[in-house]
Amino acid sequence: MRTSLFRASLVAASLLSIFSASAYDGVLTFKGEITNTTCKISVNGNGSTTEITFPPISVTALPAAGSVANVQPIVMQLSECQNATENTRALFESLSSDPITGNLVNIGTARNVQVQLLDQDRQKITVNDPSQNQGPSFKIKDNAATLKYFAQYFAVDKVVGGNVYSQVNYSISYF
């Protein structure tokens, strides 16, 4: 009996030392909310997935790094909202974003040009940045809302002509 008690004490002591040796530096607590709000989405008069087409421009419209051109509207119409909250906004994410500029990388044949997203006030939206949650919001009224954004070309260096192609995912946030 003493041998069993001794062994049990030894096991307990070794387990205790393992837990005390792995001291924690902090705790992460995750909080969030999943709402029952749903809305029908239309972008520029089309479905929720649509293509924004930039009219052709010359490379001279983007003469140097930091130049912008060819602003195109992105109008998201929310309708038939169920269980609507008071405010909404779109959050933009992409695997093909530039971590330095926060713009969408062009995977077409044109070089040194990106697609930059802008909010309703024409302020830059940094794709994949959590600060989008603090950006301008839109009111849902009578179970509908109109979210206005823009896209434009952004030169990262001397632009070489070709086609531009990029994609971004968006989620509608209700709060």
Dihedral pair phi/psi, residue 110, rounded to 5°: -65, 150
Mean pLDDT, rounded, for 2-26: 57
Helix, strand, coil % (nearest 5) of the chain? 15, 40, 45
pLDDT in tens, 22-72: 688 888 888 887 878 889 999 999 999 999 999 999 999 999 999 999 999
- The confidence score (pLDDT) of residue 30 equals 85
| 154 touches 126 (CB < 8 A) | no
Instruction: Note the helical H segments in the chain.
Output: 2-21
Domain ranges of the chain: 37-174
- Our CA angle for 49, 104, 140, nearest 5°, is 45
Got the DSSP string for 40-72?
EEEETTB-SS----PPP--GGGS-STT-EEEEE
| 116 touches 126 (CB < 8 A) | no
d(Cα 44, Cα 59) in Å, to the nearest integer? 27
pLDDT in tens, 101-155: 999 999 999 999 999 999 999 999 999 999 998 888 999 999 999 999 999 999 9
- Residue 6's pLDDT band, with cuts at 50, 70 and 90, is very low
Residues in the chain: 175
CATH class for domain 37-174? Answer: mainly beta
- Our CA angle for 172, 100, 28, nearest 5°, is 60
Edge to edge, what strands does the sheet with 87-93 contain? 138-139, 87-93, 169-174
